Amino acid sequence: MPEPAIHVRGLMRTFTLAKGPVHAVRGIDLTVQRGEILGFLGPNGAGKTTTVRMLTTLLPPSGGHAEVAGHDLLADPAGVRRRIGYVAQSGGLDPGCGVREELITQGRLHRLTRSQAGERAEELARDLALAELMERPSAALSGGQRRRLEIALGLVNRPEVLFLDEPSTGLDPGSRAELWELVRRIRAEHGTTVFLTTHYLDEADALADRIVVVDAGAVVAEGTPAELKSRHTGDPAASLQEAFLAITGHTNTGEPLSI
């Protein structure tokens, strides 16, 4: 078997607050195979973003072990960073910065020469339908265009693993459909592993090869979308929303299920 893209055992994160410790992540185990699209789901406060921040080296774990793209999270965080891309939920574009400048700057941060960064910017612009927008400031982009640019920034270093944290939040249906197709194409054309968090269960159902559900900082269910529907509702034709409610007792936005 090839080495997995992500291998996690006993990952934990505890925050110390004035009122006492908060155990945000309580010993998560998961494995993501290379080339897989994994949907990482859970209600608000389940520990999804904390887990992503740990796996992308932005937050040190309190315990446990993880390897990402073949590099130990604690022993070699720089090796992890060289091999991943991360598109945060909130984005991070400079409103006054043009699309070309954003892409070239990101390439330079990844230690490309200016010439290499310019070539990579042009390549990504062609691939992600940004070529006609290269001189436009990000403030003048639509929501879907901004999200495509943010994903392009996450792909500048040709990552082995791409982390997408709620990438379609706030997008209109047409832009969401375009984003889904883009994610599928990134995996199909480059073999990129995609770690996806989302509150849109139809999105997870459409994109994910496999789903891991977390609640209260722990994994509570995992399997393919079809397996989760059949196992937790008894009806293979059920929606993923129904399965999610059966697993967590919450809606996909984190609101408790009303009985």
Q: Which domains does the chain have, with CATH numbers?
A: 1-67+170-250 (3.40.50.300), 84-158 (no CATH)
Non-local (6+) Cβ contacts of 254 within 8 A are: 43, 44, 45, 46, 199
Digit-coded pLDDT (tens) for 160-211: 999 999 998 888 888 889 899 999 999 999 999 999 999 899 999 999 999 9
Digit-coded pLDDT (tens) for 23-66: 999 999 999 999 999 999 999 889 999 999 999 999 999 999 99
Q: Which amino acid is at 59?
A: L
d(CA 197, CA 152): 18
Non-local (6+) Cβ contacts of 82 within 8 A are: 110, 157
The 210-215 sheet, strands edge to edge: 84-87, 161-165, 193-197, 37-41, 210-215, 218-223
Phi first, then psi: give them for residue 218, nearest 5 degrees: -135, 155
Only one residue has tokens 């990482």, namely 40
Q: Indicate whether 236 pLDDT > 90.
A: no
Q: Which amino acid is at 172?
A: D
The answer to whether 26 and 218 are in contact (CB under 8 A) is yes
d(CA 69, CA 56): 11
Non-local (6+) Cβ contacts of 184 within 8 A are: 207
Alpha-helix residue ranges (DSSP H) falling in the chain: 48-55, 77-82, 99-109, 114-127, 143-155, 173-190, 201-207, 225-233, 240-248
Q: How far is CA 205 from each of CA 159, 225, 226, rounded to the nearest angstrom?
A: 24, 6, 9
Average pLDDT, the chain: 92
Digit-coded pLDDT (tens) for 57-95: 999 999 999 999 999 999 999 999 999 999 998 778 888
CB-based burial label for 184 (10 Å; 0-12, 13-18, 19+): middle
